[in-house]
Structure 1
Amino acid sequence: MITRIRLLHRKSFAEWSVLTFHGHLRLLSSDVYSQYESIRQGKQEIPKYFNFASDVLDKWSEIEKAGKRPSNPAFWWVSGEGEEVKWSFEELGFLSRKVANVLTKECGLQKGDKLIVILPRIPEWWLVKVACMRAGIVIIPGTSQLSAKDILYRLQASKAKCIITTDKLAPAVDSVASQCQLLKTKLMVSKGSREGWLNFTELYQTKQTAPTNSTATIEVIITFSFLQKPIYPMVIFFTSGTTGSPKMTQHSQGSLGFRPLLSERYWLDFTPSHMIWNTADTGWILTSVASFFDPWVFGSCVFIHNLPRTDSAVILNTLCRFPIDVLVGAPTLFRMLVQNDLSKYKFMNLKYCVSGGEPLNPEVMEQWKSQTGLDIHEVYGQTEMGIICCVCKGMKIKPGSMGKAAPLYDVQIVDKNANILPPGQQGEIAVRSKPIRPLGFFSEYLDNPKKTAESERGDFYVTGDRGTMDEEGYFQFIGRDDDIIISSGYRIGPFEVESALIEHPAVVETAVVSSPDPLRGEVVKAFVVLSPTFSSTDLESLTRDLQDHVKKTTAPYKYPRKVEFVKELPKTITGKIKRNELRDKEWGRM
């Protein structure tokens, strides 16, 4: 077992990573996976120091100035109301240095201090994130849907010294700030003013750019032989809280910023000419992955629409007006879009569609394909590890499957003793973490060593999700481990029942949970959101129709013996259905 590898000084990173590919300078070589193998075996050198802002973004700025990158912007934002922002990599670098200056000199933040940023999809979010990396400040993203209680929990748990938000959420912050003794600075992105707050926009627009040496050089000390945690944290994500209170999931410069550099194609296969639009909220890790790190590794353009609310007409018209190559969204987005007559829309440049966050029902994939001619590629991931499984370009698409293991990860289905199960057998989805902890893993659940330890079982990190793997290595999601329904001895995954239900034209959205039953112990119950065209239908008759439909579509024992029609389903701030809340209600635990 090789336990040491030679490390390079950070100045060697540019020579190591910038290569010519089909006339374009790209970060990465053409055979990255074999390069990873060489690094893992100690045959290939890697840099000792790494900072995504200087070693990736600034390198693309140099390429840009040399005229060796297409004129595509690095960042393109539209408000939907006529406002528009376009930045090159050079402009992104200049502005982010000014923001780093504000955070360090005006706010007094130092390397290692924590900053919570709660902003909608506006350009300042991207500036703050790059600036934090430059200054070595640990950033904690949060969604704009957070309540005062949510904000208090995050401020107290993280011990953040600074918060940046809008005038809309400033009153909520003020209502809890007195309970957060470590909070020293409040910055507001607004044209107006508020007592006790600094105006972020005025500060960074008037300050001079910071010195070029202000980027904090981060030593990642990456080995591929045994667990040696990167020494410097970069970002903390709070988990979505589907199974309890949100946990602080800490990532390093190595786990998010460096992983795409070593992953052959990963889940995106980009060039500097491509443009990606990811509709996820800024508080979700998918935005950091799909609207920040991964496209910018390849010098691609990140497109953002402000989208104060999810409107299918706005999304479809945006795809028709702008040269967007890739669309990334949650299953809810595609379920909503297929409710429209898509023949009325001619997309300008769309070639590749990606769904992530929850499994996408095969029926929706088929509807989208039949109306647009485009496939939907699924990805599966978690806050702890980013993308775990994916359907990359060129891969065969299997409806209901979330693809194969993403590069750098050895994904298996294991039993309760961490034994690997054979293809086709149901178990828990797990990622090998020993003896080599893959690049991409979170460092720890901050201040929660018990949860960190509980996430490991044998040689694996266990995801808490159940699934199967077929003979070709494709994985299928069944449900959260605690979502599984055991009725009369049968194990039933909620997703397969939901997939059957959503094929029915009356069903817009559905969630399936267990419900107590004196005879069977528990039975399947479906909560159903109806299509408006079925709102006046006799519900007793419709219930029988839905039950019969499930019996014909999947194994008959899986049909929902109970059906409840609701106007909406409870969801986390990241859009995931709170099945645990519905289940607790059924079992009288609320």
Structure 2
Amino acid sequence: MKTSLKSQILRSFWIFRSLHRSFHRQHKFLGSPVFAQYEAVTHGEQPLPEYFNFASEVLDRWAQTEKDGKTLSNPALWWINGRGGEVRWSFEELGVLSRKVANILSDQCRLNRGDRILVILPRIPEWWLITVACIRAGITVIPGTTQLTAKDIRYRLQVSGAKCIVTTDAMAPVVESIAAESYGLQAKLMVSSGGGRDGWLSFNELLKEAPADHTCVKTKIEDPMMVYFTSGTTGAPKMAELSQGSLGFRPIANKRYWLDTTPLDVMWCTADTGWILTSLGAVFNPWVCGSCVFVHNMPQVEPSIILNTLSRFPITTILGAPTLFRMLVQNDLSSYKFMSLRHCISAGEPLNPEVMEQWKKKTGLDIHEAYGQTETGMACAVLKGMKIKPGSMGKACAPYDVQIVDEEANILPRGKEGEIAIRVKPNRPLGLFSRYVDNPEKTVETIRGDFHVTGDRGLMDEDGYIWFVGRADDIINSAGYRIGPFEVESALLEHPAVAEAAAVSSPDPLRGEVVKAFVVLSPAYTLQHKEKLTLELQEHVKKVTAPYKYPRKMEFVQQLPKTITGKIRRVELRKKEWEQV
């Protein structure tokens, strides 16, 4: 980015002033009564509390800080839609509204503590309201991306036993097509600016009349808070359960947790609401620090929208998948001035060192990498002030002891490739998922010796930095989306043209990797119209499962490599793809 001397001086002054004020404000607020009762816990002088609820212990305490006259410089939630629409809620307003929603869930949707609710909403303020309301009422939230198909939604409702689903009027017909097959579903709540719909409760109308008096449920620190469906290499997605402690208390217990924001920061996480990155980067971590959560209601990530937003609004921290930064550096950035932005974070998949170099050259800003999974939250990161080693994921995030282990769970020497693992014995660290719901076998499989194994391979250098090498299994990570090959293959096999199919990762300059399908055709089909058949199969997958899972590449083969027992050797196909790079 080319800037005048005046602009450079102005930017330097702004950064210095912000850092100076941030240091004092952070010290003031984190040392204030907001978290005073947990000081002994953070210093390791006392064990974790038995009871904890993020809404009452964090959000309500910040609201009280506002009432006491210590007004925060930014709202708790700042939402825009790009068309002039805007919402700004203080912590106090967030508290009032979320209590009203908690009453709606309890009284109108007939949900009780411990019940599960499937929430499929785009980046709209109601997603944050409902999430906080569920925490208040002790209801377990199951976030879902708006790209889910009817089949995906039916599976999630049936397997989870969710008693309520929340979505928009646009998704309502999809839900209605499978609602009769979800026997435990007792309430459908619709968020819509328009009229109502038969068989649905109107969120907007109920919110107008709902009482704001609600007593927060007293939850235990190990009580479930959220459940995420996470893809595997075989079978349908599993339900990873995360507790009040793993999501809500971990940022309190570790003040320099990966984001390290302050009450002066405006935090923008561009991830989809269906992914855990949004919960980590746009709910729990920034709000523990009293930071402002900024949201742009983008149907999809558009570089021009991102760049204009960073120029127009005082966003200090941005978090996104590497695809975001790969897209941004392809633009001419000389006309954009990011006067407030000072911290950029990439998470979800490895980031190319070349992209980091281009971003630094064009903006003067570094990109800090972070690494984690649904099951772990953030496990490694390059924190503020740490030396950046392009290509490295940084060091372990507290309280994790991250090591590289072999197949017998022995810690490998520095520089030796193995599996990335987190020590869980003698004490399981705060932050890890509790279990795979109703799947004890898969839960046990994540433990090897004294460690939780991630399924990712890497190595640790002499300075303790961890470097990602690749997946130990066949999971495909495309633009931050984890895609199980089984789901893609199952969708393809539903088409009469497909006799056999195998899905693997294939390198892609923008998304890092994409799904490639190797297809063996049924005898009745030929390759006379290859392009037409390819498009037909791609569209078929989009309809059968979530569209982001469709194979962007496809190759028709006579046979698939298999083991002596008949299992497809995806590893052989994947190796073939990546050796071409």
For the aligned pair, the TM-score class normalised by the smaller chain equals 0.7 to 0.9
The alignment status of 1:128 with 2:130, answered yes or no, reads yes
Deviation at 1:23, TM superposition (A): 4.1
Computed over aligned residues only, the root mean square deviation of the Cα atoms, in angstroms, reads 3.3
In the TM superposition, what are the counterparts of 1:532-543 in structure 2 within 5 Å? Answer: none
Deviation at 1:403, TM superposition (A): 0.5
CA distance in 1, matches of 2:78, 2:515: 41
CA distance in 1, matches of 2:188, 2:555: 37
Which residue of 197, 200, 204 corresponds with 2:203? 200
Q: Give CA deviations for 1:213-256 in whole Å, capped at 9, x if unaligned.
A: x2101122xxxxxxxxx2x2111011145665211000111111
Q: 1:585 to 1:323 in 2, by over 3 A?
A: farther
Report the number of matched residues: 490
Asked whether the 8 Å contact 2:147–2:548 carries over to 1, the reply is no
Deviation at 1:339, TM superposition (A): 0.8
Deviation at 1:268, TM superposition (A): 1.5
CA distance in 2, matches of 1:248, 1:329: 24
Which residue of 186, 189, 195 corresponds with 1:187? 189
CA distance in 2, matches of 1:350, 1:215: 36
Single out whichever of 466-475 and 339-348 deviates more from structure 2.
Answer: 339-348
In the TM superposition, what are the counterparts of 1:420-459 in structure 2 within 5 Å? Answer: 420-459=411-450
Which residue of 91, 94, 114 corresponds with 1:92? 94
The alignment status of 1:266 with 2:257, answered yes or no, reads yes
What secondary structure does 2:473 align onto?
helix
One-letter amino acid of the structure 2 residue matched with residue 412 of structure 1:
Q
Deviation at 1:99, TM superposition (A): 0.2
Q: 1:435 to 1:184 in 2, by over 3 A?
A: same
Deviation at 1:70, TM superposition (A): 2.5
What secondary structure does 2:370 align onto?
strand
One-letter amino acid of the structure 1 residue matched with residue 375 of structure 2:
E
Asked whether the 8 Å contact 2:79–2:296 carries over to 1, the reply is yes
Asked whether the 8 Å contact 1:117–1:163 carries over to 2, the reply is yes
Q: Which consecutive residues of structure 1, in runs of 5 or more, have no partner in the other structure?
A: 1-18, 221-229, 485-497, 517-566
Asked whether the 8 Å contact 2:346–2:367 carries over to 1, the reply is yes
Deviation at 1:420, TM superposition (A): 0.4
CA distance in 2, matches of 1:91, 1:99: 12
Asked whether the 8 Å contact 1:278–1:304 carries over to 2, the reply is yes
CA distance in 2, matches of 1:30, 1:134: 19
What secondary structure does 2:433 align onto?
coil
CA distance in 2, matches of 1:273, 1:584: 57
Percent of pairs identical after alignment?
60
Q: 1:351 to 1:576 in 2, by over 3 A?
A: farther
CA distance in 1, matches of 2:549, 2:513: 11
TM-score for both structures, normalised by structure 2? 0.78
In the TM superposition, what are the counterparts of 1:425-504 in structure 2 within 5 Å? Answer: 425-482=416-473
Q: Give CA deviations for 1:30-86 in whole Å, capped at 9, x if unaligned.
A: 9999966753xxx32543321100010000000011122433101000011110000
Q: Give CA deviations for 1:150-181 in whole Å, capped at 9, x if unaligned.
A: 10111011000000001111111111111110
What secondary structure does 2:354 align onto?
helix
The alignment status of 1:217 with 2:218, answered yes or no, reads yes
One-letter amino acid of the structure 2 residue matched with residue 86 of structure 1:
R
CA distance in 1, matches of 2:394, 2:274: 25
Deviation at 1:577, TM superposition (A): 9.8
In the TM superposition, what are the counterparts of 1:235-274 in structure 2 within 5 Å? Answer: 235-241=226-232, 244-274=235-265
What secondary structure does 2:227 align onto?
strand
What secondary structure does 2:184 align onto?
coil
CA distance in 2, matches of 1:236, 1:403: 27
Q: Paired residue for 1:169?
A: 171
Q: Paired residue for 1:14?
A: none
Q: 1:509 to 1:330 in 2, by over 3 A?
A: closer
Q: Give CA deviations for 1:84-133 in whole Å, capped at 9, x if unaligned.
A: 00000000000000000100011111001110000000000000001001
In the TM superposition, what are the counterparts of 1:25-174 in structure 2 within 5 Å? Answer: 38-39=43-44, 43-44=45-46, 46-174=48-176
Q: Give CA deviations for 1:442-481 in whole Å, capped at 9, x if unaligned.
A: 1100000110010101000000000010011101111110
What secondary structure does 2:245 align onto?
helix
Q: Paired residue for 1:544?
A: none
CA distance in 1, matches of 2:346, 2:389: 14
CA distance in 2, matches of 1:408, 1:337: 33
CA distance in 1, matches of 2:173, 2:210: 27
CA distance in 1, matches of 2:322, 2:58: 31
Asked whether the 8 Å contact 1:76–1:87 carries over to 2, the reply is yes
Asked whether the 8 Å contact 1:36–1:263 carries over to 2, the reply is no
Deviation at 1:343, TM superposition (A): 1.0
Q: Paired residue for 2:523?
A: none
Q: Paired residue for 2:534?
A: none
Q: 1:99 to 1:476 in 2, by over 3 A?
A: same
Q: Which consecutive residues of structure 2, in runs of 5 or more, have no partner in the other structure?
A: 1-23, 476-504, 519-537, 562-567, 571-581
Q: 1:512 to 1:124 in 2, by over 3 A?
A: closer
In the TM superposition, what are the counterparts of 1:506-585 in structure 2 within 5 Å? Answer: 507-509=509-511, 511=513
CA distance in 1, matches of 2:142, 2:465: 33
Q: Paired residue for 1:304?
A: 295
